[in-house]
Amino acid sequence: MGLDGKPETHRLQDALAIASVTIGLAALILGWIEATHFPGAIAGLIGLPLALYSQMISETTNERWLNVVGMVASFLGVGFALNNGGLSL
């Protein structure tokens, strides 16, 4: 069963949408914490292009919603991480 609730699934698109949300939320949480700004910045830098690509190939509205959430979370995660020290160790 896919994200659209139908038996015929879009496995790649569903997996990318879920991955973009997961990585985006990880970037948001890690970027918010000052001690983990570096992994948060890396997660955000990986999550944003992943969400953009996933948005480009998405086929259902549910996938698109997840992609937008992943994009925003990744962007904010990178912003918080840069505010807390960015890519410096």
Domain ranges of the chain: 23-83
Q: Which long-range contacts (CB under 8 A, 24 or more apart) does 53-59 make?
A: 53/16, 54/13, 54/16, 54/17, 54/19, 54/20, 57/12, 57/13, 57/16, 58/13, 58/16, 58/17, 59/10, 59/13
- Residue 28 makes CB contacts below 8 A (sequence gap 6+) with 40, 44, 73, 74, 76, 77, 80
pTM of the model: 0.90
pLDDT tens sequence across 33-79 = 999 999 999 999 999 999 999 999 999 999 999 999 999 999 999 99
Residue 12 token pair = 């790649």
Over residues 17-37, the pLDDT tens digits come to 999 999 999 999 999 999 999
Contact (Cβ atoms closer than 8 angstroms) between residue 55 and residue 68: yes
